[in-house]
Structure 1
């Protein structure tokens, strides 16, 4: 009897280590990490994990690209292995975020999927990371640099902190930089390449007297635009069928 019980226990342990094809299929795709250790992530580029076929993992950890492997077994167990990343130096804030992401991948062993969200945790503890499935729309999750406003080319002022840009995130929020101040709000995508932005955008209130750029004119683009066109990483925000309100190009870091 003891021998039979031992064989059954051994079989159970082996079966638990067998990959679960149904759960593996469920996690496949791109997932943006929206919160980590209980804090919402605020990064210029989306921080994400791409669960590919053949258990291949790739993604962005806040600064560098990461590659490796993942394994999904029974009872929603997930493990990451053979992790490696590029060696690009970034801002201290981004490097700190990257360290947290890599530590999270080394620790977590459990996951749960609810709709378009996935949580990663250690055992039955509270989730360490919350992820949201990324949109496959090519306008979303890209850094769009402003190149033309009202038909005129845009150039940076000598003392301007950075270029004007915006990013549409998977959770239907927009973040961006208007030349002096940062802004954020919400957006909605509809069929037929239609788009609308929330009128109540939030914006910092810094004074940059030497920056020769009309932030208000730039923000008006988002209040007026009702459709967009996109081709070869070139984007136009438009109103009706008129000339573009503004043009942008995608930037990859």
Structure 2
């Protein structure tokens, strides 16, 4: 009888232990998926201390991305680029440290960068609901909320971009021009291909966080086209100057800094 009671007791403890483990998993939550979701994703600022935030006049959204391999955070705070380290722990705990930023002058004071960057020093946990990320401190209302944004590199690449305006002037195709001026960014080997009005062009490109873009090793064929009314040198110059881009639907602008677009292109589908 004692042996039977002992066996029952062991079984009860085993069931209790399993139940306790399951309850802990439910209470703590399996945040493996959240950890994978929060990193390698671009998060665009939606609200700060409960206030809705609009896109800055620069046209670039306030955002950040977290690199899981290096435990590095990088982003754009309205005027300056910022960067630092982060650490993820069980229970959706998060800690940001060694945060730094560039020192560009920002004449537009509509957005308080210091107030935004301060949230990374305060935040100690996060929650993800659908496509919305909240950075929190304790159990109080979110310090800031962010919207998940898909990687835009897939939007700008593998598209036929037809030139619409160059330095603010509309571009009209000449009657004897072989084809319209355009370029494409090919994902294989990060190649640039296109047509500059008379000559075929080629080169390389790199895309970085914050809609940054760099063109290099740009070259063209050496055909002479005396009858074509197009300034190829002026068009090719934009690839030397451009350091960022903005995209709105099927319209792409290549820019340098925060000035007016160097050139505007329209996506053409065949």
TM value normalised by structure 1 = 0.49
TM value normalised by structure 2 = 0.46
Answer with 1 or 2: which has the greater Rg. Answer: 2
